[in-house]
Structure 1
Amino acid sequence: MLPIDRSVIKNYHEKLLGVLLMAAPFLGLAQNKTNFEIKGKLDSIDVPMVYIVHSQGFKQIIDSAEVTNHAYRLKGYLEVGQPTVLMTYNMRTTKQIQPDGIALLFLSPGTSMVTHTKKFHDITISGPAGYNDYKTLTATAKPYEDKNQALKTKAYELLKQKDTITANNVYAKQYAFEQGFMDKIYGGFIKQHPKSPVAFFALQKLAGTGHSIDGQKLKPYFDMLPSNIKASEDGQQFNKRITDAITFNTKGAIGSLATDFTLLDTAGHAVKLSDFKGKYVLLDLWASWCSPCRADNPHLVAAYNTYHKKGFEILSVSLDTRQREKAWHNAINHDHLTAWAHVADLDHETNSVVTLYGVSGIPQNFLIAPDGKIIARSLRDGDLEKQLSKILNN
């Protein structure tokens, strides 16, 4: 049986309860296409419904099945094997998902036979390949994951006590430990089992959950995967993340010559990045719908007001599309950003500058010197003013 990670269970209590309540009217809707089936058997367990939660691209899919004579059947579609949550929950009588009511498994296309014994989370599985590899990998990784989390918790507690020096030392130790065991456990698994359905899951774990990934390190692992996984929607999205990360650390790297582009401003006039050559210019990527971007806008205003007369300019590139053109204009006015140039790629879902510089998330920015070279990037929370102070106050 697959061991249940209690930290995962704890997180699912509230999150999945909320998801279920919000999605309740839509549960059980038929899939447009199916390629997996779960035939479940509940030995001596009385529950009214079973729910399944898995991912399809960036979407979370939730479906349900009624339990009849201690059996249920779930069908759906997925392109690649992935960790999946089965749960039981009576919306009318229960106000919290219980640990015993959640089972974690690795699901692949095909028919899986799932038997729940004694408790709902006690499962045995037969069917498509992947489950045993997943069970082995997660069991191997667990002591490392636990130690890594303990280091994070220790550093966080030290920060709460305002012991920043010791906290930073612990964070440095934690980061080095994390990089080491991730390469050893997840990277090692991919090298040893590149054709396993679990290899793509291992690659996602190796990449981490943040926007910033090491594309150069991950690309050789991605290239090892089976062609059907690389060609899947999830595979293509992941490959784009790798490509963007490589671009960000080449074309968008500090010391690189900023790549020129032309976009239209709010009045429909063409504006080139090269129009600003000879000045310090911040290439700022944002959007009207991006809360962190909007929160950082006062720093841009302060920097512009302080350093514009000393040769500083801003070129803001919005990721808003034609549908949100009015919201883009309103945000510029509301945030008092009218003093500098604003451009957008309104008629394309993917902004051309995002692709050009390999940007994986906003807010993002690049500080470009008069000679056209990038000298800083990812400046947030007053970092821009500090950087300009060093450059323009000397």
Structure 2
Amino acid sequence: MRTFFSILYLLFACTAMAQNNTYTLKGKFTSADATGKVYMSYYQGGTTKRDSTLVNNGTFEFKGPSDGPQQVYITFISKNSAADRKTKGRDSRSMYLDRGVITMDITDSIKTARLSGIINADHQKYEQLLKIKENQDAAFTAFVKQNPDSYFSLQALLKLAGAYFDAAKVEPLYNGLTARNRNSKEGQAFAASIAGAKATTVGQMAPDFTHNDTNGKPVKLSDFRGKYVLLDFWASWCGPCRAENPKVLKAYNAFKGKNFTVLGVSVDRADDRDKWLKAIKDDGMPWVQLNDSDHTDLKGAGNLYAIKAIPSNFLIDPSGKIIAKNLRGDALEKKLEEVIR
């Protein structure tokens, strides 16, 4: 008997766990005559994923695994409307899915459908903040304090932190979030960004990392210990980065014989390898180039250095200490003239 109830308990626990790790989106049109197809697309793990389902008797359903909030794009193409077969006539909207069941009640269109779930109610409140033109920082701060368990409080904190991540501005607010929010995947990533920003202030020792070069050989930042190194984050698709490359090249040529080098770290995706290599060749960059394509790796250079915008760079002295950040244009050569005798 004890064994029987133990099995029942395990079955119940496994079923509950499976339900907690799945999402279900149930859509219902007011008219049961609605027919057609609903498409879903979303960005995950560096790629765009797609799914679709038929509308039967005015209803449709999507179901799948979930590890937390996920923004998706929903499009309905009616079987009876010729216009809907063209891009111009499609009925689309963005929304969020989360573990559990979310319903979509559709009266006039997908765009105006009523959504259930805390995640979408929070998203609507957060969207209102983005429309504020004055005192936006104060609005984001108030939102975080009033909604410590909201997924979008982390999004608000990212806005507050800024492109070059000001840890001092957001760490006290982050500490006020609920444990559930801080321990979420996004919460842990944000904590890593705080740690990265604090660890890479001027005067700190530069965090070490390893990435592969253009030949697939692993290279460490510490391999360059004993030299002045400009750690330069960029990407082939980044216009401002490509515009800055000739200035970095000029500084490199002026100081390469004086114990100075550049170490490039591209954040290009793995499937953009050819574009990365072409950009290196086109811009004539002779220094070692590494690629950090896995943006989810908390030990990757981009996360260790809290990179939220590119171009970003760090000037590191021969002992491995960061002595300057985000030097642009002539500022790089002026700093090198100051420190290299």
TM-score, length of structure 1 as denominator length: 0.59
Aligned residue number for residue 188 of structure 2: 239
Structure 1 unaligned blocks of 5 or more: 1-32, 149-173
The partner residue of 1:187 within 114, 137, 144 is: 144
Check the 8 A contact 1:247/1:357 in 2, yes or no: yes
Residue 105 of structure 2 is aligned to residue 115 of structure 1: yes
- Sort the Cα spacing of 1:206 and 1:97 in 2 relative to 1 into closer, same or farther, 3 A: farther
Structure 2 unaligned blocks of 5 or more: 1-20
Residue 40 of structure 2 is aligned to residue 35 of structure 1: no
The partner residue of 2:174 within 206, 215, 221 is: 221
Higher share in strand: 2
Check the 8 A contact 2:28/2:106 in 1, yes or no: yes
- Sort the Cα spacing of 1:312 and 1:377 in 2 relative to 1 into closer, same or farther, 3 A: farther
Q: Could you say what secondary structure the match of 2:199 adopts? A: coil
Aligned residue number for residue 249 of structure 2: 301
Instruction: Report how many residues are paired.
Output: 310
Aligned residue number for residue 206 of structure 1: 157
Check the 8 A contact 1:53/1:86 in 2, yes or no: yes
Q: How far off its partner does 1:183 sit?
A: 0.5
Measured against aligned partners, the alpha-carbon deviations of 1:194-253 in whole angstroms (never above 9, x if no partner) come to 2xxxx01232133139654344525753773454x656xxx32552243134323x3311
Check the 8 A contact 1:51/1:86 in 2, yes or no: yes
Check the 8 A contact 2:22/2:100 in 1, yes or no: no
Q: Could you say what secondary structure the match of 1:64 adopts? A: strand
The partner residue of 2:224 within 273, 282, 285 is: 273
Q: How far off its partner does 1:44 sit?
A: 7.1
Higher share in helix: 1
Q: One-letter code of the match for 1:181?
A: A
Q: One-letter code of the match for 2:141?
A: D
Distance 1:108 1:344 in 2: 36
Check the 8 A contact 2:229/2:263 in 1, yes or no: no
Measured against aligned partners, the alpha-carbon deviations of 1:233-283 in whole angstroms (never above 9, x if no partner) come to xx32552243134323x331123344567889889798733221xxx5423
RMSD: 4.7
Q: How far off its partner does 1:345 sit?
A: 8.1
Distance 2:106 2:146 in 1: 29
Q: One-letter code of the match for 2:74?
A: L
Measured against aligned partners, the alpha-carbon deviations of 1:178-206 in whole angstroms (never above 9, x if no partner) come to 2111101x213323xx2xxxx01232133
Distance 2:74 2:270 in 1: 41
Distance 1:364 1:221 in 2: 24
Q: Could you say what secondary structure the match of 1:255 adopts? A: coil
TM-score, length of structure 2 as denominator length: 0.67
Check the 8 A contact 1:261/1:273 in 2, yes or no: no
Q: How far off its partner does 1:334 sit?
A: 5.0
Distance 1:308 1:284 in 2: 15
Q: Could you say what secondary structure the match of 1:43 adopts? A: coil
Q: How far off its partner does 1:66 sit?
A: 2.0
Q: Between the two proteins, what is the percent identity of the paired residues?
A: 25
